Structure formats: C-alpha cells, structure tokens
Amino acid sequence: MVQVSYPAVLVAAILVFVLGWLWYSPLLFYKPWMRLRGMDPVAAMAGANLPAGKLVRHRLQVVNDQTDRIAP
C-alpha cells in the first residue's frame, strides 16, 4: 500500500498556487502574457475587481462586527 504524506501534499498544493500567482503577476510575466493575448495590460488592470480584495474586506467586516458586539 502506498503511504501519502499529507503535509507534503498540502505544501505542494500551496506551492503550485503561489507559483501560478507569481507567474501571471506583474512581478513576472503579466505584461508579456497580456500583450500576447492582444490586450493592453494597463487597461485590463484599470477595471480589475479582484475577488481577493472582496474576501479581505468581507473578513475584516466580520471581525469588526464581532468586536462591536463584544465591546460596545
């Protein structure tokens, strides 16, 4: 039977996610990738509404609501 190292699987999954984020980020290949797709990188980011920003705002709002209930 094959034994699976679950921490190694978790680390590998996170690493793939981070590498993908870096690959398509402005730090590495975002601009050439957008140009090859026939898009203007600056115009594409101008109207960007990133879901991560919504998630962070939501989490901060939840924390704020909870602290308001604890200490009025």
pLDDT at 72 over 70: no
Instruction: Report how far residue 2's alpha carbon sits from residue 6's, in angstroms, rounded to the nearest whole number.
Output: 12
What does pTM read for this prediction? 0.48
pLDDT tens string 2-24: 899 999 999 999 999 999 888 88
The domains of the chain are located at 6-70
In 28-55, which positions are buried (b, 16+ CB within 10 angstroms) versus exposed (e)? eebeeebeeeeeeeeeeeeeeeeeeeee
